[in-house]
Amino acid sequence: MNSMLSLTQTQRMLRHNRAAAIGLVILILFVLVAIFADLIAPYPPSAANSIDRLQGPSTAHWFGTDQHGRDVLSRVVVGTRSSIIVGFGATVATLLLGTVIGLLSGYFRVLDWVLMRIIDGLMAIPAILLAIALMAISRPSLFNVIVAIAIADSPRTARLVRSIVMSTRGALHVDAARLAGIGHVKIMLKHLLPGTFGALAVKGTYVFASAIIVEAVLSFLGLGLPPTVPSWGNIIAEGRLYFQIYPHMVLFPAVILSVLVLSINMVGDALRDLLDPRMKWE
Amino acid sequence: MNKPINPETAPPPADDDDQRAEAPLLQIDDLVKQFTVRRGLFARARKLSAVNEISLNVRPGETFALIGESGCGKTTVGRMVTGLEKPTAGTIRYRGTEMVGRSQRVTDLRREIQMIFQDPYASLNPRLRVWESVAEPIFGFRLMPKSAARGRVEELFSLVGLRPDQMDRFPHELSGGQRQRVGIARALAADPKLIVADEPVSALDVSIQAQILNLMRKIHGQLGIAYLFISHDLSVVAHISTRIAVMYLGEIVETGETRAVLRNPQHPYTQELLASVPRRRVSDRSERVRPPKGDLPSPLDPPSGCRFHPRCRHAMPECSASAPAQREMPNGARVRCHLYD
């Protein structure tokens, strides 16, 4: 494991894989925007100006203004922060939860039966409905949104990890580790978990994208982030009402969302290749 | 290894009186393993009889060969001896202790039984540097402080004929023979008294097989480790083992000193197995017996009576009626066949 993401290997990979390099640059840009949102935004995101409302893109307002005359660019910039935090938070929480459940149920047959019936039950409900239901019984807040998305999304991750673990559990090198006196926890962490990293890296990108979308839906329904906190979700939701006449309110945040999701996917694919030790970047 | 079999080259049994007095290192009595096979949710569960009432013992420092066609259950016996598989019935005693449960004594004794696997690629974690795989038993059994482990691995590397600079390689950067040397080093890292070698050379190129066998023989000589050597290849076994057991469809049909069994096989199956080994000289073929006809029957539904009778040239009516008992032959071999009733 220690060698997998060495700096030189990463550099080599980036030099050979243009898409990954571009994706990584865009992703870093988004993270920087999220961190320095307050400095980058040209206007305070909630400053209403009824004279300038519903304007198209101009030099003063690159992304135009919304129905309250708020600068859409400033709101998108500040919204980046919410989306990135929810996206990262939900991805980490989903992968952690899913991996723990998947490892345990893939390795211990007795636990598998119990855990998988619970997972089956959760998977019978569409993830977004489950998240809505969970948010309906809790207070709108960043933390609760992350928890709701993690609970709704982790069954799929658990299934993925379980299937990988079940296929490697019978491998001879796992038998060899058992004969070497290695305990269950160490076998899971050292011999079974690393085999899931490649798939998890790719899975993580889907979770990230879906987390941002679920957050948008939750915010649209008034169940996600409080309306005072701009997020791409509630910007798009608000702009939807004016879409036919003033498409810029939806278009700009939607394009930005797509660019972010695409860049994460490019990084995820490259990560998958990098984590496979048989792929060499000469 | 299509060398002609010459019983004379088999190592002589070590001092017999001495060995008999000593308690066996490994004693297997009436070992049975059945797997439950279920096709589909509502299909009836069927019993697959992989190993049926096998008894054998391995003496300290001895090389005992278990031989048979693929699917005859020999690997399952090896996996039960190492504890990777639980027996359905029967007992496995190692140094007088019955190897069941997870008591401290059993766990401690398990360390002394290690395994060399058939496929040296699948038995090494592709994500670990090979020295980390070799060090696993050292860490797993806490044999020495972590700081000393690398030095110990270096010793083991030189013992199995690998260079120290190969320690930091990944398995895919080594050849098949080198990987099997790594597998042997890992087995030795646990400081074992018994090594179950499950077809240790059958996945290797013929040119490499002899090197690995010689290495195993050298280690046997230096460290006095006993081998339970599992193979389908009589010519491999002839050169390395002192005693042999021939398995057919989960049962031992003939067992005895390797020299005696190979020189004068008693059981029809052993005779045909020997006949199926290619010979170099035509004259060797004069008394050639035909190799077994047909395929191995399914262990899901083993034949009645003697399990070999559908393929046996000497089959008599009683062969399908009752299972033969084990008889001691004049040459010391023990055979299960109605021909000798």
Tell me if B117 and A179 make a contact (CB, 8 A cut-off): no
Average of pLDDT values for B148-155? 94
Distances (CA, A) of A186 to A30, A81, A199, B139, B328: 37, 37, 20, 11, 49
* Closest in B119, B126, B137 to A181, CB measured: B137
Q: Which residue of A has its CA nearest to B137?
A: A180
d(CA A116, CA A101): 9
Residue B9 per-residue DSSP state: G
Given a contact cutoff of 8 angstroms between Cβ atoms, the answer to whether B174 and B209 are in contact is no
For residue A32, give the nearest of A81, A72, A75, A98 by alpha carbon: A81
Closest by alpha carbon to B278, among B1, B39, B41, B2?
B2
- Separation of alpha carbons B232 and A68, rounded Å: 83
* CB-count burial class (<10 Å; 0-12, 13-18, 19+) for A244: exposed
Please state whether A64 falls in left (phi above 0), alpha (psi between -120 and 50) or beta.
left
Is B117 within 8 Å of A278 when comparing Cβ atoms?
no
Q: Which three-class secondary structure state does DSSP give residue B130?
A: helix
pLDDT, one tens digit per residue, over A244-259 is 988 988 899 889 988 9
Domains of chain A: 7-47+59-275 (1.10.3720.10)
Minimal Cβ distance to A178: which of B84, B117, B183: B84
Residues of B in contact with A181 (CB under 8 A): 107, 110-111, 137, 140-141, 190
Rg (CA), chain A: 22
Q: Does B172 contact chain A (CB < 8 Å)?
A: yes
pLDDT at res. B285: 47
> CA B55, CA B90: separation in Å to the nearest integer?
9
The arrangement of strands across the sheet holding B334-336 comes to B113-116, B194-198, B226-231, B63-67, B243-248, B251-257, B334-336, B326-328
| Whether the Cβ atoms of residue B149 and residue B138 lie closer than 8 Å to each other | yes
Closest CA to B184 of B246, B258, B107, B115: B115
Question: CA nearest B125 in A: which residue?
Answer: A173
SS3 of residue A97 by DSSP: helix
Q: Is B204 exposed, middle or buried (0-12, 13-18, 19+ CB in 10 A)?
A: buried
Confirm if B43 and B91 have CB atoms less than 8 A apart: no
| CB proximity list for B19: less than 8 A, separation 6 or greater | B13, B59, B62
**Torsion B328-B329-B330-B332 (CA) sign:** negative
Asked whether residue B4 carries a pLDDT value surpassing 70, the answer given is: no
Q: Report the pLDDT value the prediction gives residue A96, as an integer from 0 to 100.
A: 96
> Which among A90, A112, A110, A96 has a CA at the least distance from the CA of A157?
A96
Residue of B nearest to A179 (CA): B114
Predicted ipTM of the assembly: 0.84
User: Looking at beta carbons, which residues of chain B come within 8 Å of A183?
Assistant: 140
Output the six-digit token pair for A51.
């004279």
Question: Which two structure tokens, joined as six digits, stand for B54?
Answer: 């096998």
- From CA B77, how far away is CA B25, in angstroms rounded? 16
Provide the pLDDT confidence category of residue B336 given band limits of 50, 70 and 90.
Answer: very high
Q: How many CB atoms lie within 10 A of CB B229?
A: 27
Q: Is A182 on the interface with B (CB under 8 A)?
A: yes
CB A177 within 8 A of CB A187: yes
pLDDT band at A279; cut points 50, 70, 90: low
Contact residues on chain A for B189, CB-CB shorter than 8 A: 180
- List of chain B residues whose C-beta atoms are within 8 Å of the C-beta of residue A172: 117, 119, 122-123
B234-243 pLDDT tens trace? 888 888 899 9
Whether A179 and B115 lie within 8 Å, measured CB to CB: yes
Of all residues in chain B, what percent carry a pLDDT higher than 70? Answer: 88
- CB B137 to CB A179 under 8 A? yes
State whether residue B223 is helix, strand or coil. Answer: helix
A182 → closest Cβ in B110, B119, B136 = B136
Q: Which of A4, A176, A178 sits opposite B186 (nearest CB)?
A: A176
- Helix boundaries (H) for B123-279: 130-140, 146-159, 176-189, 206-223, 234-240, 258-263, 268-275
Does A2 lie at the interface with B, CB-CB under 8 angstroms? Answer: no
Whether A172 sits inside 8 A of B117 (CB atoms) is yes
Tell me the CA distances in angstroms from B304 to A241, B320, B326, one per residue in order: 80, 5, 17
Q: Is A194 on the interface with B (CB under 8 A)?
A: yes
B129 in Cβ contact with B170 (< 8 Å): yes
Nearest-by-Cβ selection for A175 from B84, B126, B139: B84
Cα separation, A226 vs B109, whole angstroms: 63
Task: Give the tens place of pLDDT for each residue, A104-128.
Answer: 999 998 899 999 999 999 999 988 8
What are B277-327's pLDDT values in tens digits?
766 555 554 455 555 667 778 888 888 889 998 888 888 898 988 889 888
Model confidence band, residue B121 (pLDDT cutoffs 50, 70, 90): confident
Q: How confident is the model at residue B13 (pLDDT cuts 50, 70, 90)?
A: low
Residues on chain A touching B126 (C-beta within 8 angstroms): 173, 277-278
Q: Which residue, chain included where needed, has tokens 């499950």? A: B198
Please count the residues of chain A. 282
| 8 A C-beta contact, residue A88 and residue A148 | no
Q: What single DSSP character describes residue B283?
A: G
Question: How many other C-beta atoms can be found within 10 angstroms of the C-beta atom of residue A154?
Answer: 26
Tokens standing for residue B34: 């059945």
The pTM of this model reads 0.79
Tell me what pLDDT residue A18 has.
82
- For position B17, what pLDDT does the model report? 46
Cβ contacts of B114 on chain A, cutoff 8 Å = 179
Mean of all residue pLDDT scores within chain A: 86
The predicted model gives B118-146 an average pLDDT of 92
How distant is the Cα of A208 from the closest Cα of chain B, in angstroms? 27
Asked if B82 has any chain A CB less than 8 Å from its own CB, the reply is yes
pLDDT value of position B18: 47
CATH code for residues B7-112+192-340: 3.40.50.300
Q: Which amino acid, residue A273?
A: D
Summarize pLDDT for A35-49 with one digit per residue, the tens.
999 898 888 888 888
Spell out the residues 6+ positions from residue B309 whose beta carbon is closer than 8 angstroms to its own.
Answer: B303, B315, B319, B320
The alpha carbon of residue A182 is apart from the nearest alpha carbon of chain B, in Å, by 5
| A190 near B CB under 8 A | yes
Whether B136 contacts chain A with CB within 8 A: yes
